Structure 1
Amino acid sequence: MTASSVLVVGATGSIGRLVTAEAVFQGLRTRALVRDQLRAGRLDDAVEIVVGDLTRPESLRAAVDGVDAVIFTHGAEGSEETIEKVSYGGVRDVLGLVGGRETRIVLMSAVGVTARTGMYNTAHLADWKRRAERLVRASDQPYTILRPGWFDANGPDEQQLVMRQGDRYHAGSPSDGAVARQRIAQVLVAAIASQAAVGKTFELVAEPGPATRDLEPLFAALPADPSGLDGVGDAANMPLEEEPQRVRDDLRRLGGDDSRR
């Protein structure tokens, strides 16, 4: 499918603002889900604003209605309850509203999402991001999951984009990989139009070298995710049978199967 309209979830965040601008630049009809109308003033005038709250599913219907792509750039900090409601629950509820209508899904996750110990999983932040990834894979929608490195921690000579898989860097510092916010936004929007990016999960980092211009060869070189709930090469350290029952129920409702790993 070729998307012509996109909903950006988390549109007033540091990545979301860049994504909305890039989507407008690429000629997409762009809708922004915002919690606070006042913050929407920072967005491009061409962006359609819809006010809603990821913790109130009933407020999301107007945002989802009629779009053929969704880019998730949202996140949460604080208590585990807040992280679950926003980082995980927001993805679950938007996917539920999309239902069986084919919709291109692009989810921004994070480097370190499979690390179950250490700073990446403070308040189980990584666990809930990973569970959100699993919802996307279980939904049977055409998807891309991007796990960016540390925002804007790359050096001025580090402009060459690299897409890694397997999430094997868990030091909890920019040594795990870094990339500019603007490049993250460009890749998120480019994934909407790329058939080569469908069904793939990858970490996005920048290494020394000139700026990458053509993303298609990078998308095409990535192996697709295996049939199941995790990304290619991910550690098998989150057994489904040990997951909370509510998570297993959500996966089942979205098309997942308790037998999948």
Structure 2
Amino acid sequence: MSHRPTTVLIVGATGSIGQHAVAEALRQGYTVRALVRDQKRAARLLPENVGLVIGDLTRPETIGPAVEGIDAIVFTHGTTTSERDVRDNDYTGLANILKAMAGRRVRIALMTAIGTTRPGVAYAQWKLRSERLVRASGNPFTIVRPGWFDYNQPEQRKIVMLQGDRRQSGSPADGVIARDQIARVLIDSLRLEAADHKTLELVADHGPEQEDLTIIFSSLTPDSADSLDAAEDTVNLPTDSEPEMFRDDLAAIAAGTLKASE
């Protein structure tokens, strides 16, 4: 990551994490753009100084104006735990954005979920595929897998970053974190060199929130450029056995990255 980004597109800006991400990005001095489907609703929910671009993640032909001139993207969109919803909205939306970039490099922060690598969980596998596309895109990135939103106690604000995705009960026992802290980590990652190529599970422990996250990010193992999966994950999803939809998206994004580097 050679420079701090200046113009950030937030995908999912009107959602419960997205609104916090917008506020944090503005607080940190970024120019903020939001891809929204409903302009009137977005205007009610977001500050006036956020640039609203009308488009639909599931309709690639509407995405172009949203990605023009940006140098960072924060993905906070999310639907349900239905495999169909996650595949057709969360995963497809991210794939469409990456393909619209056509290999142009941007800084990416992606929110998925703790337990993404749980074996046999269909919706989680589509989140994992989203992560794989980001790693294959050739962009600098940080992938954040938060624990359960806002289940933390008031004094439980110490930010903890884990790796290996070993907490897989599917309950708050896996870890908890406040929504505003998720947003803070996503936005902080855009400017911190130590956050580049890192995948982490994000939870909170008892204690005060840290002022600077550089040391915590620095302690993490970076993802390998030679792998589609996170550095300390255990994953059994061979690429040649993956759905055709994913393999086609992977090939398109890799081709765009190669073309941009020529």
TM-score (norm 2): 0.92
Residues 114 and 201 in structure 2, CA contact (< 8 A), matched pair in contact too: yes
Structure 1 residue identity aligned to 2:206: P
Separation (CA, whole Å) in 1 of partners of 2:248 and 2:85 = 20
Partner of 1:21: 23
Give the aligned partner of residue 127 of structure 2: 129
**2-structure distance, mates of 1:113, 1:17:** 23
Query: Does residue 74 in structure 1 map to residue 72 in structure 2?
Result: no
Distance in structure 1 (CA, Å) of the matches to 2:165 and 2:82: 24
Per-residue deviation, 1:80: 3.0
Change in CA separation of 1:78 and 1:163 when aligned onto 2, cut-off 3 Å: closer
Map Cα deviations across residues 61-106 of structure 1 (whole Å, 9 max, x no partner). Answer: 1111110000000012275333212111111110111122210011
- The residue that corresponds to 2:119 in the other structure is 116
Partner of residue 7 from structure 1, selected from 6, 9, 12:
9
Is 1:174 the counterpart of 2:172 in the alignment?
Answer: yes
User: 2:147 matched to 1:145?
Assistant: no
Residue 241 of structure 2 corresponds to which residue in structure 1? 242
Code of the aligned partner of 1:31: R
Deviation of residue 159 (structure 1)? 1.0
Moved more, 200-209 or 238-247: 238-247
CA contact (8 A) 1:144 1:201 kept: yes
TM-score by length of 1: 0.93
Q: CA RMSD in A?
A: 1.3
Deviations along 1:202-259, whole A, 9 cap, x unmatched?
0110011222211111111111012210011111222222211221121122128xxx
Are residue 62 (structure 1) and residue 65 (structure 2) matched? yes
List aligned pairs for 1:151-230, cutoff 5 A. Answer: 151-226=149-224, 227-230=226-229
**Per-residue deviation, 1:36:** 1.4
| Separation (CA, whole Å) in 2 of partners of 1:5 and 1:98 | 15
**Residue correspondences, number:** 251
Amino acid of the residue matched to residue 15 of structure 2? G
**Structure 1 residue ranges without an equivalent (≥5):** 257-261
Distance (Å, rounded) in 1 between the aligned partners of 2:51 and 2:208: 35
- Distance in 2 (CA, whole Å) between partners of 1:80 and 1:112 is 15
> Match of 2:251?
252
Task: Name the % identity.
Answer: 49
Contact 2:109–2:142 (CA under 8 A) maintained in structure 1:
yes
- Judged with a 3 Å threshold, the aligned counterparts in structure 2 of structure 1 residues 36 and 78 are, in CA distance, closer, same or farther, namely farther
Aligned to 1:259: none
Contact 1:151 1:178 in 2 (8 A): yes
Closer, same or farther: CA 250–214 of 1 in aligned 2, 3 Å: same
Hey, what does 2:40 align to over in structure 1?
A: 38
Offset at 1:47?
Answer: 0.4
* Residue pair 1:54, 1:85 contacting (<8 A) in 2 also: no
